[in-house]
Amino acid sequence: MKTCAVIGHRPTRFKFKYQENNIGCKRLKKRLHDQFILLYEQGVRRFVIGGSLGVDIWSGEILLKLKEQPGYSGVELVLALPHPGHDTRWDQRSKARLAFLLAHCAEYTTVGTKADAESYYKRNRYMVDHSDCLLAVYDNDKTVRSGIGQTVQYAERLGKSIIMIHPDTGIVSKNI
């Protein structure tokens, strides 16, 4: 079964931040939805997300809604969490959104054991290692060091197909 890992910056890196009613956020969610449909049509059924705020949560919600649509019942949502309690500092609404995803996913795993950068690094590599392709919401800014940038580079080194959605412009680029 074909699998796609989905990653992206936290909303603090986006122009619209956490404003989900912002036109930029709505455009980004539409691009994610459209790419999920295209990937499904190419045989991708499993989608692995990292359980972080922003792109991960939004992707999980979009995928679960897609699964309810006729013709998309084969969607499987998999969560790869960085460490136990990674959502401890989140607000109640965000915690509830993650809990909903966990309750409705096909499976989940917790990759790390403690709250440190290494657990996030391991989680990102785990996602790429267990996927055929990568969908990254990424601005491709090489001047800023980020886990998303490192993960995209790792996927490139492994020869994975990569789809990138620019978070501010919505432009989709592919290396497939």
pLDDT higher than threshold 90 for residue 175:
no
Mean pLDDT confidence for 124-145:
91
CA 173 to chain CA centroid, Å, is 16
First-last CA distance in the chain: 18
User: 2-174, what's its fold?
Assistant: Rossmann fold (3.40.50)
Q: Tell me: the pLDDT tens digits for 8-46?
A: 988 998 999 999 999 999 999 999 999 999 999 999 999
Please check whether residue 167 is in contact with residue 137, taking contact to mean a CB–CB distance below 8 angstroms.
Answer: yes
pTM above 0.85, yes or no: yes
| Confidence category of residue 160, pLDDT binned at 50, 70, 90 | very high
Q: Tell me: the pLDDT tens digits for 33-42?
A: 999 999 999 9
Show me where the domains of the chain are located. Answer: 2-174
How far is 94 from 88, CA to CA, in rounded Å?
A: 10
pLDDT at position 143, please? 72
| Confidence category of residue 176, pLDDT binned at 50, 70, 90 | low
Q: Please give the structure tokens belonging to residue 79.
A: 């969560």
Specify which residues 2 forms β-bridges with: 44
